[in-house]
Amino acid sequence: MTLQKAPHIPVMMDEMLEYFADVSIKVFFDGTLGAGGHAKAMLEAHPEIEMYIGCDQDPMALAIAKENLSAFEHKIKFIHGNFLNLDQMIASVGVKQVDGFFLI
């Protein structure tokens, strides 16, 4: 089955990129990975990112994101779950803190 590549247009893209424009990011937490539209934009704008933790509670969204973000696969930790469990999630990938996050 070919997964849908873009189920919707990510919102507030410009605002998000502008907010993080001057921030040097090593580890980023994206609590609502969805189809990965925001993630792709962040990874393109911030090549310094070493680990992008992408969480979603919907397994289908994660499958779509994996397809859409295949070029960045080596940097991304795909995690299935609720972002309310942020602490456990980042600990599970060996991280104690993140340099930025969003939930949009």
Ligand X SMILES: C[S@@+](CC[C@H](N)C(=O)[O-])C[C@H]1O[C@@H](n2cnc3c(N)ncnc32)[C@H](O)[C@@H]1O
Q: What is the 3-state secondary structure (H, E, C) of 5-70?
A: CCCCCCCCHHHHHHHHCCCCCCEEEECCCCCCHHHHHHHHHCCCCCEEEEEECCHHHHHHHHHHCH
Judged by CB under 6 A, the chain residues 13 through 72 that form the site for ligand X are 31-32, 34-38, 55-58, 61
**Residue of 4, 24, 70, 82 that binds ligand X (CB under 6 A):** 82
Q: Does 83 bind ligand X (CB under 6 A)?
A: yes
- Per CB under 6 A, residues contacting ligand X are 10, 31-32, 34-38, 55-58, 61, 82-83, 104
